C-alpha cells in the first residue's frame, strides 16, 4: 500500500474513518480499551518461558513500572473526555484496501473492533504509520496530523475547522497513541509465549515500550499535558483503575481507586488544606506509583500498606511531596507501626525529607 502520509490518501482514510465511527452496533457501548489492556497486563506479567534466553529477556521487564505507567496514562486519558465510538482498533496499512477502479477505500479485518475511544482509534492508526519495521520516523508530524483532522472533522469543508478543534484532537490522539504502544507491547509479550509464528515478539515489546517512553518524554510539553493537571478550582477528580497483580513476583494487591479532592478542609492543629489525595482503597507493597509523586502540591495523603514497606526500602518518589501537612496511614505491618508510633520525626524513625506535621496511624 502507498505511504499513508500521502495527503490524498490520508484524506480518504480520515473521511472513511469518520463514517466508520458513526456506525451503530447492537450490544454494549462500553469502551473496551482499559478492560483489554489490564487483561493483557494480567496475562503478560505472570508468564514463564521454557527457553532460558527468552526467560532471561522476559525477566528484564519491570511490570511494576509498566503498571505505574498504565495508571498514570489512564488518568491523563480520562481527563480528555474522548467520545466513545465504534472503533476499528487495528487500522494498519494491511487492513486498508483500495479499489483503484472505483476510487474507493475499505477497511477490513474487524478482529479487534469494539466500542472504544475516538482518540485511541486515531492515535493507534498514527502509530501504525511506522509499519511492521517500527520505523517511528514515519510517525506523522503536526502538519500531517492537522491535514488528517480537517478531513475527519469536516470532510466537506476541511479548511473551516477551527484551530481550537485541531489542537484539541491533536492532544487527544497523541495521548491515546501512548496507550496504543502499551497495549501492543503487552500483546507482544503474550504472543511471545503463545504464538507459533517465528517472530521476535519480545523484541517487539521493547520496540513499542521504548517508543512509548520516548514519545512520552518528547511530546509531553508539545501535547500540553500539563494543562490536564487538576486545578485548585476543580471540585473533584476521580480516577478508577482495575487490573491484576504480580502473582509470582510481588505480594498480591488490589489496584487503586484514587480520589483527588480539591476542597477546603480544616484539620485540627493544621489549619486549612485544599489538596487531599485519598488512596485508602489501595494496598501498596513497596513504592508509590509515580503518578502520585507527580502531584507535588498535595497537602494531605491517606493510604494503606500491607507490611511490605521497610525503612531500608524507600517509598520511591515520596520526597517530591514537599507540601504534605498531614499523612494518614493504615497498616498491618507491625515492624512499620513499631518504628513510626513515636511521632518525633527523627531520621532513624522516618528516613525521608518529607515530614508531615502530623501522622495518624491505624493498626489493623
What counts of helices (H) and strands (E) characterise the chain?
Answer: 10, 10
Convert the pLDDT of each residue in 166-221 to its tens digit: 999 999 999 999 999 999 999 999 999 999 999 999 999 999 999 999 999 876 65
Average of per-residue pLDDT across 248-269: 45
Cell of 14: 480520515
Identify the pLDDT of residue 352: 55
Interatomic CA distance for residues 287 and 136, integer angstroms: 33
Phi, psi of 330 (to 5 degrees): -105, 125
Convert the pLDDT of each residue in 39-73 to its tens digit: 999 999 999 999 999 999 999 999 999 999 999 89
Of all residues in the chain, the percent with pLDDT exceeding 70 is: 64
Interatomic CA distance for residues 299 and 307, integer angstroms: 24
Interatomic CA distance for residues 8 and 98, integer angstroms: 13
Long-range CB pairs of 319-322 (<8 Å, 24+ gap) are 319/352, 319/353, 319/354, 320/293, 320/294, 320/296, 321/293, 321/295, 321/296, 321/354, 322/296, 322/353, 322/354
* Mean pLDDT value across the chain: 77
In the predicted model, is pLDDT for residue 313 greater than 80?
no
* 24 φψ region: left (φ > 0), alpha (ψ -120 to 50), beta (else): beta
Average of per-residue pLDDT across 132-151: 94
Q: How far is CA 14 from the centre of its chain?
A: 25
Nearest to 236 by CA among 260, 210, 264: 260
Interatomic CA distance for residues 226 and 157, integer angstroms: 32
Q: Which residue has the cell 477528580?
A: 237
Other Cβ atoms less than 10 A from the Cβ of 93: the count is 16
Q: Name the band, by pLDDT with cuts 50, 70 and 90, for residue 269.
A: low
Q: What is the reported pTM?
A: 0.64
Q: Which residue has the cell 469536516?
A: 154
Q: What is the Rg, in whole angstroms, of the alpha carbon atoms belonging to the chain? A: 23
Average of per-residue pLDDT across 102-125: 95
Bridge partners (DSSP) of residue 329 are 303, 361
Kind plus residue range of the DSSP H or E element containing 122: helix 118-127
In the predicted model, is pLDDT for residue 320 greater than 80?
no
Q: Name the band, by pLDDT with cuts 50, 70 and 90, for residue 91.
A: very high
Q: Name the band, by pLDDT with cuts 50, 70 and 90, for residue 327.
A: confident
What is 234-272 written as a DSSP string?
Answer: --EEE--------TTTS---PPP--EEEEEEEEETTTEE
Residue 123 buriedness (CB in 10 A; 0-12 / 13-18 / 19+): buried
Amino acid at each position: 500500500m502507498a505511504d499513508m502520509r500521502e495527503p490524498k490518501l490520508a484524506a480518504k482514510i480520515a473521511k472513511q474513518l469518520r463514517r466508520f465511527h458513526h456506525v451503530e452496533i447492537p450490544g454494549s457501548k462500553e469502551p473496551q480499551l482499559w478492560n483489554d489492556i489490564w487483561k493483557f497486563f494480567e496475562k503478560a506479567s505472570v508468564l514463564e518461558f521454557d527457553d532460558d534466553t527468552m526467560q532471561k529477556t522476559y525477566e528484564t521487564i519491570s511490570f511494576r513500572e509498566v503498571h505505574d505507567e498504565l495508571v498514570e496514562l489512564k488518568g491523563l486519558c480520562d481527563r480528555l473526555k474522548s467520545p466513545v465510538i465504534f472503533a476499528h482498533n487495528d487500522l494498519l496499512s494491511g487492513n486498508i484496501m483500495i479499489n483503484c477502479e472505483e476510487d474507493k477505500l475499505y477497511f477490513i479485518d474487524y478482529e479487534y473492533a469494539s466500542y472504544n475511544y475516538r482518540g485511541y482509534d486515531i492515535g493507534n492508526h498514527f502509530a501504525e504509520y511506522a509499519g511492521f519495521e517500527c520505523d517511528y520516523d514515519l510517525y506523522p508530524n503536526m502538519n500531517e496530523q492537522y491535514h488528517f483532522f480537517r478531513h475527519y472533522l469536516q470532510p466537506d469543508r476541511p479548511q473551516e475547522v477551527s484551530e481550537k478543534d485541531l489542537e484539541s484532537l491533536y492532544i487527544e490522539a497523541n495521548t491515546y497513541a501512548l496507550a496504543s504502544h502499551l497495549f501492543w507491547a503487552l500483546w507482544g509479550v503474550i504472543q511471545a509465549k503463545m504464538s507459533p509464528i517465528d517472530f521476535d515478539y519480545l523484541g517487539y515489546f521493547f520496540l513499542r515500550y521504548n517508543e512509548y517512553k520516548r514519545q512520552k518524554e518528547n511530546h509531553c510539553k508539545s501535547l500540553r499535558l500539563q494543562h490536564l493537571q487538576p486545578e485548585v478550582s476543580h471540585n473533584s477528580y476521580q480516577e478508577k483503575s482495575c487490573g491484576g497483580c504480580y502473582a509470582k513476583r510481588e505480594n498480591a494487591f488490589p489496584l487503586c481507586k484514587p480520589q483527588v479532592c480539591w476542597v477546603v478542609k480544616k484539620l485540627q492543629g493544621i489549619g486549612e488544606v485544599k489538596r487531599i489525595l485519598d488512596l485508602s482503597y489501595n494496598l501498596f507493597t513497596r513504592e508509590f506509583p509515580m503518578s502520585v509523586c507527580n502531584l507535588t502540591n498535595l497537602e494531605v495523603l491517606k493510604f494503606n500498606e500491607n507490611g511490605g514497606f521497610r525503612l531500608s526500602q524507600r517509598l520511591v518518589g515520596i520526597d517530591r511531596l514537599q507540601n504534605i501537612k498531614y499523612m494518614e496511614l493504615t497498616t498491618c505491618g507491625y515492624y512499620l507501626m513499631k518504628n513510626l508510633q513515636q511521632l518525633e520525626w527523627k531520621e532513624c524513625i522516618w528516613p525521608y525529607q518529607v515530614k508531615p506535621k502530623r501522622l495518624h496511624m491505624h493498626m489493623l
